[in-house]
Amino acid sequence: MPSDQATWLIAYPQDGDSEGLFEEIAPKLGQQSKANVVATFPIPSFKTGTLDGLISLSEDLPKQDNFFTATVAKNVDTLRNLLNNDPSKLSQHVLVNEQPVDTYILKGWKWNEGRYGVQRGLREIVDTLNKEMTSIDAAMKAKLTNYNLVKGSLVQMQRKKTGNLSVRSLADVVSKEHFVQDSEYLETVLVAVPKSQVKDWNAKYERLTSMVVPRSSTSIASDEDYTLFGAVIFRRVHDEFVQKCRENKFIVRDFVYSEEELAKQQQDLETADTTEKELWTELLRVSRTNFSESIQILVHLKVIRLFVESVLRYGLPANYSGLVVKPDSRSAKRTFGALQTQFAYLRPRSNRAKGGKVSNEEFAGEYQTLMEQEFFDFVLCEVGWILY
């Protein structure tokens, strides 16, 4: 049975047996559930080409269908992530030509003759669809990679402004007055001391090494975990002082005060923030546009699958009609049962291939790998729902 979370595209031979079928089946499906939606779904009369060509296509189409479906899903995932998993916002962007997907498929769908003229061969049309979808997939990957790089850089910059005094950026914590300026021999060292060890620091820092300026320790800032001190030492004992601090679990922060560097860091943060917002807007626009394009390409490929399988199953003339059914998920099983009953008259004909009738056993052996995994009397393809 097909998925109850998908819209079903159905193809069947258009002949005397199918006259008035839509008018007959629509009320029956409505009886199964008032939420069922059914509409006609026109299938063009393509050039059939050779049997070998159709068989080759039928082998390739499922792979391309999987690729197309995955590309649509990636577009949706990108939109979902950009919109912070907000269902109401997502529904405003997963549109086809500014209308909901259901409207596109269920209300007056037609083949895009301007882009995919049916006078062209099936393989040529499929190659065009594949080229377009590959282009969309490549463009999305490039845009997404670029955005993620900028966003990652921004997050890293912002992360430096968070956390406790042992790890966060000190650019907005210290000021020029906290440092010894323009001294050839002296420097100010910043040390993050756990609050439980502040007394220990005050008692020890002058004797951690030689050449520490007495009473030079100054408390600069404090948070829940650490107190940041500045101490003045001679440059020549810097490495030894750092080592002694480490042994006592005092954390020396690697920070050199520079107004130019601080200004650059702030400018870099503002630039990254602005760039991230611009790329977010661009990626949202591209994802919205590419979703619209990719879902249309996917549906056109599904139609070709319907046609190819119909020719292989029912033979010529290649004249087929279609239905589109959006089932109520709660009654999908009953709805599908009604479809099977309605199309039971196709059962003998579903064992027909180009060149005449073959037995069930012969048919299964020759064409089994070409058909859907589940074999029905009518030809069916699914278009998965966009779940919010």
Residue range(s) occupied by CATH 1.20.1460.10 in the chain: 6-153+276-384
Distance CA 121, CA 131 (A): 15
Predicted local confidence at residue 18, as pLDDT: 66
Predicted local confidence at residue 349, as pLDDT: 65
Q: CATH for 176-256?
A: 3.30.70.100
Distance CA 254, CA 46 (A): 71
Pick the closest to residue 360 from 344, 348, 371 (CA basis).
348
Predicted local confidence at residue 366, as pLDDT: 44
Summarize pLDDT for 131-186 with one digit per residue, the tens: 999 999 999 999 999 999 999 999 888 887 888 999 888 888 898 899 998 899 99
The phi-psi region of residue 220 (left if phi > 0; otherwise alpha if psi is between -120 and 50; otherwise beta) is alpha
3-state secondary structure 122-173: HHHHHHHHHHHHHHHHHHHHHHHHHHHHHHHHHHHHHHCCCCCCCCCCCCCC
Predicted local confidence at residue 384, as pLDDT: 94
CATH superfamily of 6-153+276-384: subunit c (vma5p) of the yeast v-atpase, domain 2 (1.20.1460.10)
Pick the closest to residue 193 from 164, 214, 169 (CA basis).
164
Distance CA 346, CA 13 (A): 9
Residue range(s) occupied by CATH 3.30.70.100 in the chain: 176-256
The two tokens of residue 205 are 């820092």
Within the chain, which residues score under 70 in pLDDT?
16-18, 348-374
Summarize pLDDT for 42-57 with one digit per residue, the tens: 999 999 989 999 999 9
